[in-house]
Amino acid sequence: MPQKKNIREFNLPDLKAYFEAIGDKRFRAIQTYEWLWKKNARSFEEMSNLPLELRKKLAEEFNFPSLRVDAEQQSNDGTLKSRFKTFDGHSIEGVLIPTEKRFTACVSSQVGCSLSCKFCATGMMERMRNLSFEEIYDQVALLNENALRTYNTPLSNIVFMGMGEPLLNYKNVLQAIERITASDAMAMSPKRITVSTAGVAKMIRQLGDDGVRFNLALSLHAPTDEKRNRIMAINETNNIAALVEALNHFYQKTKNDITLEYVLLHGENDSLEDAKELVKVYRKIPTHLVNVIEYNPVAGIAFTKSGEDQTQVFTDYLVAHKVNVRVRRSRGKDIDAACGQLANKG
């Protein structure tokens, strides 16, 4: 038997052509498409305004892989972590982060990760596969449903800061964002989306060449190649000079916001000398913000977070040298939902 096609790989003209070919009405294509992308159906059975026989025929002819929620946890601070199961049995995690001004979905792009950053729980996992564009979309849709159900408020922002390296799943991430921002789907502004990368210089340049409209964050985490090589193996092939050049290319092409992410590790990258080196990097990039991130402990990893006094000294130096800096406090630590903690512990 021929393998069934994934219905969500069909655009609206494709669906119209299909319904015409089977002798059905073209408006059935519009109804089906709305179920796929606006009403976020998880199965053909849910498409209640389609005749039962048509739903059965669609189920016979098409696959409809979708995520399902496997487990949920709520932090003391209101953060919600969801573990999702894929159609082939893998687990991934997404997080809903509520604040006074924002409701942010933190989503994953891969099952596991191949980069092995030494301070990150996900980096200890094997990368099993890339997520498809519809699996990424499903995360956002399900986290949005959770925001509406729990807080009566829709998502305001999306960050690709979950499991995996987004730029190593380039095509699917961009296709997912196209659907998330499309007027016939979720219709979210691309300016409310940030893709975070550990630093794949070639693909950062590609984002610029492709004229993307979303924002970019670089997980820098160390201000020199010597120190970055120690904690982020990717720096050996994508050093800071290459990343500076790529980020400048990205900004020249798009004028989109660039953020530098910098997790403070006690005794590793939090000295005054490190702050001085970070200022040098900051001045080479048209970045609008440095996010100084509180490190979150991970079992089996020896790093510890910087103390409050050292964090203050570090950030005070940055401020004194006209760096726009924000200290990002951890959310969801008690349920392993904070930055660097996603590892399917559930």
- Residues labelled catalytic: 93, 339
Amino acid identity for residue 247 in this structure: L
How far is Cα 171 from Cα 304, in angstroms, rounded to an integer? 36
- Residue with token string 């630093």: 199
> In angstroms, rounded to a whole number, what is the distance separating the alpha carbons of residues 263 and 248?
22
Q: How far apart (Å, rounded) are the C-alpha atoms in residues 119 and 343? A: 13
Q: Which amino acid, residue 13?
A: P
CA distance 269 to 339: 17
Distance CA(302)–CA(39), nearest Å, equals: 45
Residues 6+ apart with CB under 8 A from 187: 181
Residue with tokens 């939090």: 270
**Number of Cα atoms under 13 Å in the Cβ half of residue 118:** 15
